[in-house]
Structure formats: structure tokens, C-alpha cells
Structure 1
Amino acid sequence: MDSVGDALFRPVRTGNAFEETVERLLQAIKLGVVPPGERLPAERDLATRLNVSRVTLREALHALQESGFVESRRGRYGGTFVCTASPRAMPTSVSRVDDIEDALTLRFVLETGATEFAAARELSDEDRSHLRARLDECDRAALDEYRRKDSRLHLAIAELSGSPSLTAAVADVRMCLNELLDGIPLLPKNIEHSNRQHAILVDAILSGDSSAARRAMAEHLDGTASLLRGFLG
């Protein structure tokens, strides 16, 4: 593997291991580090280089197989191979890499700030019940309605900041984000992980720990950003 491959297959961070593994593999495929028709490094080697478990790696490979980027072959010369014709992402009006990064930066600033303010405020019983209801709604959402329920939870957090202007700004960036998300597949493993992060995030807000809430939101947003950069970048 050349130096580019060494750079891409470097250890991932632990907070969003699945999402970052998907991102690294997609980068290697899209940049031609592993050309169409060629085999990815062996699972054991790849898991070691990315510093992830074999389970996480297999889940990431399964997601890419379901999305049409790689295929699994059995037998003596089997393994995971890059498909000769990779799928194209659904078109979005936000298509340039700079536009994607701009949207992700704006989202990060707005939503981490809104979360910090939400956790710092004295919340009413009604506020707390509303937030828990949105969390439960997202956790129980079917695959085809997940993004809508996820949006409602994030907007509920923004509303608890107490700033209508900030809430409106989060809603605007969420519209842009959903347009980007429509260009990538829904990954059940990512949804499972997001729901766990949502629970940690809401717990931090309800306990009034603004620093922990901000950190939890930042980590959560980083996971989504990894997938968007991987699939659309």
C-alpha cells in the first residue's frame, strides 16, 4: 500500500468508529487507492491499521456492500472487492465540497451552541417532558421516518436554548443538512449509534451539565459529518 493508503487507513477516533471507518473506506475507494475490481486489504490487517474491532469493520463493509460500493467474494481468492461501477450519490443542490464543509461548519457552531444554552437554562417540567418525548419518538422511529423524527429532536433542543433567532437558524441549516442526507443511504448501524448518542445528549441537558452536553453534541455531529464527507465528498 502506498503512502496515500497509509494516510487513509490510519487509526480512527473511538467516538464515531463506525462512521469514520465508513468514511475512510469510501475515501480509499473514491480516490482510487483501491481501484475498481481490486481487493481491499485483509480484514485483520485493515482492522489493525484503522484501530477498530473486526465487528466494527465488518459492519462498515456490510454498509458499503448494501450501498453498492463493494462486493464480497468467497473461495481461495475471495475477500472484499471494490465494485467496478460504484453508485452515484443522489443529486443535491449543495454539491461542491466547499459547500458541504460550509454547511457542516455552520451546523456545528449553531447546534453545539444551542445545546450548551439549553443545558444551562432552568427547564420547566413541560420542557423536560417535551424533550423526552422527542427522544423517545426518535428512538422508536421506523427507518423511513427516522430523519424527520431526528430533525424534530434537534429542533426541540434548539428551542430549549430560549432564543427564537437561534432556533430559526438551526431550522435553516437543518433544511440544508436534510438535503445532503437525502444523498446518502440510511445505515441501520449509524442510526443505532445516533440513538445512543441522543440519549447521552438529552441526559446531559436535563442534568444541567452544559459542558457535557456541548461535548456530546459535538461528537454526535462529527459522526454525521464523517458519513457525509465519505459519501458526498
Structure 2
Amino acid sequence: MSQRTVTEHKGVTEALFRPVRTRNAFEETVERLLQAIRLGVAAPGEKLPAERDLAARLGVSRVTLRDAIRAVADAGYVESRRGRYGGTFVAESLPSPAPSPAPAGDLEDVLTLRHVLECGAVEAAAARALTPADRQHLTAALLDVSGVDTEQAEYRRRDSRLHLAIAEVAGSPSLTTAVADVRTRVNELLDAIPLLAANIEHSNTQHRTIVNAILAGDAPAARQAMAEHLEGTAALLRGFLAGR
């Protein structure tokens, strides 16, 4: 039995399957896999590199790689085969892309605007002397989003409320309005991609780090944590939506 493997375009393959650069290992691994498939580096019917080799190339654990492959498989882009000639293969018939809610240029515009606004908001919130009501508001919003399951619409609502709560305690109504506007645009993009359990778990961990930094008054740590959190979401959006 013959099988096609990802061996051609060595330079492109090495570029896409290079070590991930951020702490969002799961999200960036999903992005790399989808990029390779969409660009034809891993064509329909081709076998991906062995799990051990691919994890080493990406610089992630095999557990993280398996979670990412499972997410991509659930979305219909790859499939696992057992037996002597088994492994992970790009699906012969790839999912038909849904109409993109925004062209690629708009995607980057939204992501850049979100980064500027929300990193600024979290830094301002951490730099303020928060009232007991502010602290309660943040803590309640964090508990609210942490307790939701993977039902997409409800998770998006609670996640949005936490991010808006952070903007609110920054003390600038105009900033809160701007964050609300960009969050509406972000949610339109997020609704076009799968809700991934591993990403929710990771996001909730990041949410706790962000809120704890705000409550501790550590503005640099809050900004860094928010930047990492937003980059994880951006990686998933680029992975699923860029190039449509």
C-alpha cells in the first residue's frame, strides 16, 4: 500500500512546522496545522509527519500536539488511521469554507485594534486604586466565565462580559465603549470557527492570571498576560479564517 507523505517543499514545510513562539502552544499549533493544509504543503490524502517528529519540530509536548490534531480532526481537516500504514492524514475532502465574515485585511485590522484597546485597558485597570465594588465586579465576572461549559453562545457572552468588566474598572467610559465595539467585531469572527475545549481551558487559566495581576496592581504583568491571551485567540482566527 502506498501513501503520500509531506516531503515536498522542504523549506516551506520547515517554515510552517517551526517551533511555536508563544505560550499559546495549543492555539498556535492548531494555526500551523491549518496553514500547512490550506497552503497545500500538506495536501489532501497526505500523511503528516510522525507525532514524535512533528512535536519536536513544533517544540510542543505530544499531549499538546494530540489535542491540536484532535481539534483539527473534529473540524474535518485531518483523520487518523490505524494499522501498519496508519497515522494522521489530511482529509481527502476538505471542509467547504463558510463565507468569511471579514476579508483578511479586516481580520488583521480587528486584531490590531483589539490588541491596542484591551492591552491598554488592562494596564489602566491595574494601575488604578480599585474600589471594593470594582474588585467584586471583576471577581464575579471571572467566576461567571470559569463556570460555563462549552456551549458556544453562552461562553462567548460570559467571556465578553469579563473583558468588558476589565475595561469598566479602567475608569474610562469612552474606552469601555471602544472595547465593546471591537468585541462585537471579534465575536462575529469567533462565531465562524469551532469552540475548542482545550482553548477554553487555556483561556480560563489566562483569565485568572489577568484578573489576579489587576487585583495585585501589577500593570506590566497584567498587560503581558492580556497580550498573550489575545495572541492565542488571534492564532486560532488566523488559522481558521486567514486566506478564505
Q: TM-score band, normalised by the shorter chain?
A: over 0.9
The count of corresponding residues between Structure 1 and Structure 2 is 232
Q: CA deviation at 1:92?
A: 4.1
Distance 1:136 1:7 in 2: 40
Which 4+ stretches in 1 moved above 2 angstroms? 88-93
**2:112 aligned to 105, 115, 122, which one?**
105
Q: Compared with structure 1, are the counterparts of its residues 212 and 65 closer, same or farther at alpha carbon in structure 2 (3 Å cutoff)?
A: same
Asked if 1:158 is matched to 2:180, the reply is: no
What percentage of residue pairs aligned between the two structures are identical? Answer: 67
> Structure 1: which 5+ runs fail to align?
none
Distance 1:40 1:66 in 2: 16
1:10-159 equivalences in 2 (<5 Å): 10-94=18-102, 96-144=103-151, 145-159=154-168
Q: CA deviation at 1:219?
A: 0.3
Deviations 1:104-133 (A, max 9, x none): 000000000000000001111111011000
SS of the residue corresponding to residue 81 of structure 1 reads strand
- Code of the residue aligned with 1:229 in structure 2: it is R
Partner of 1:181: 190
Q: CA deviation at 1:161?
A: 1.0
Task: Check whether the contact 2:101–2:192 (CA below 8 A) recurs between aligned residues.
Answer: no
Partner of 1:214: 223
Q: CA deviation at 1:14?
A: 4.3
- Code of the residue aligned with 1:7 in structure 2: it is A
What RMSD, in angstroms, separates the aligned Cα atoms of the two structures? 0.9
> Structure 2: which 5+ runs fail to align?
1-6
Partner of 2:4: none
Q: CA deviation at 1:13?
A: 2.3
Distance 1:118 1:15 in 2: 23
Partner of 2:176: 167
- TM-score under structure 2 normalisation? 0.93
